[in-house]
Amino acid sequence: MDATTPPAALPPDAVQVINVRLIPCRTAQGNTAQMVLTDWVNQSRSPITAVFAEIIAYDASGKPLDSGAPDYCIFAVDRPSQAVQPGQTYTEPDDSGFMLLSHFYGEAARATVRILRVR
């Protein structure tokens, strides 16, 4: 594979989600929000350069909130040298997760992340 060849698609189970964290944050306008951070392991035999997932947030009673995302890129890199290698764990930095607008949709008590596509 050269720099212009896109990586081959891998099955969704190439990635195992090991932790989903919610941390408080603020929007640029100063509104309260929460960041969904997803930590995962590359279970495949290939480097991973992109991961797409469905994110669902739930309130304290277990009801889904409307603040999730049906198809969101939770990880992407431009260069193969930045890929997550087989067996490696990716821990999402606190400033690069998916933002839930809790001031608009309500505060999430938990979130789930289901892997859809992997490259």
Q: 59: which 2 tokens? A: 């309130």
Q: How many CB atoms lie within 10 A of CB 17?
A: 16
The domain locations on the chain are 12-118
The sign of the CA dihedral 24, 30, 31, 35 is negative
For 56-101, the three-class secondary structure string (H helix, E strand, C coil) is EEECCCCCECCCCEEEEEEEECCCHHHCECCCCEECCCCCCCEEEC
The structure tokens listed for 108 are 């999430």
Residue pointed to by tokens 């603020």: 26
Kindly report the length of the chain: 119
Task: Please report the pLDDT score of residue 76 as a whole number.
Answer: 97
- Closest alpha carbon to 56 in 39, 38, 42: 38
Please say whether the structural domain 12-118 has been given the CATH code 3.40.50: no
Q: What is the pLDDT along the chain (119 residues), one digit of tens a residue?
A: 455 566 679 999 999 999 999 999 999 999 999 999 999 999 999 999 999 999 999 999 999 999 999 999 999 999 999 999 999 999 999 989 999 998 788 999 999 999 999 99
Taking residue 88's Cβ as centre, other Cβ atoms within 10 Å add up to: 12
Q: What is the DSSP letter of 5?
A: S
